Amino acid sequence: MIKRSFLTLIFLLLCCKMNAQELISPSYGFSHSKTAYITLADGTEINGTIKDIDRDKGLIEYIKLQDGTGKKHKLKPKDIKFMYLPPSGLDNLGKKMSFASNFKKWNDQKLNEDFLNQGYAYFETADVKVKKKDSKLLMQLLNPTFSKEFKVYCDPYAKQTTSLGVGGVKFLGGDLKSYYVAKKDSPAFLLKKKDYKKEFVPLWGSCDKVISEYKEIIWTDLVKHIITYSECVDPS
């Protein structure tokens, strides 16, 4: 009875965490049996199974895909406009649960809600500022349901805050300490937890509501700041 009650408590805590979580956790491993959907820079669509993904400094350098006809493709970031990759194993389940709710008001309309609700990770080619140089990189979007005005991308090297969990499953803490972020069509840049107070006004200063409502600058309120900022930019 005690064990059952303990497991029930863990389940409830997990549900609260998932329902409250607005930024999805990044996917690092991908299925080699389920279909991946890739749209090239010229608009051509390629569907197939992943054969290999090569990374350089944590970012995708190229992806090998075999389509339904058996043809193999080796694609670099510059060749790809966006893509949906199927996460492997239990990671896929977590993404499904995170996307149980409907799209929010400030989503990017081009995104495929069905793929996201199935747990697919969405990547797009974006301009990213790395050491004062702009580069085009394939970036994993972590806020697809409210990314119209402000985008949050995965930092492959992000560290995490201390977490609490049972059996390898986290239900408290474990927040990422850095993301790549971008306003609208501006280049993304690396935003770190330790620098957030310094970057707060440059990021949100154009929205009086963010500045006035959030006197205490808290890293884990980033999602609230983004949504409030989106209300300023698109109040309709």
CA atoms within 13 A on the CB side of 21: 25
Q: What pLDDT, on the 0 to 100 scale, is given for residue 117?
A: 83
Mean pLDDT for each 10-residue chunk of the chain (236 residues)? 47 39 83 95 96 88 94 94 88 50 56 87 92 88 90 91 52 77 92 97 95 95 94 80
Note the pLDDT of residue 13.
41
Supply the pLDDT for residue 102: 40
pTM of the predicted model, to two decimals?
0.82
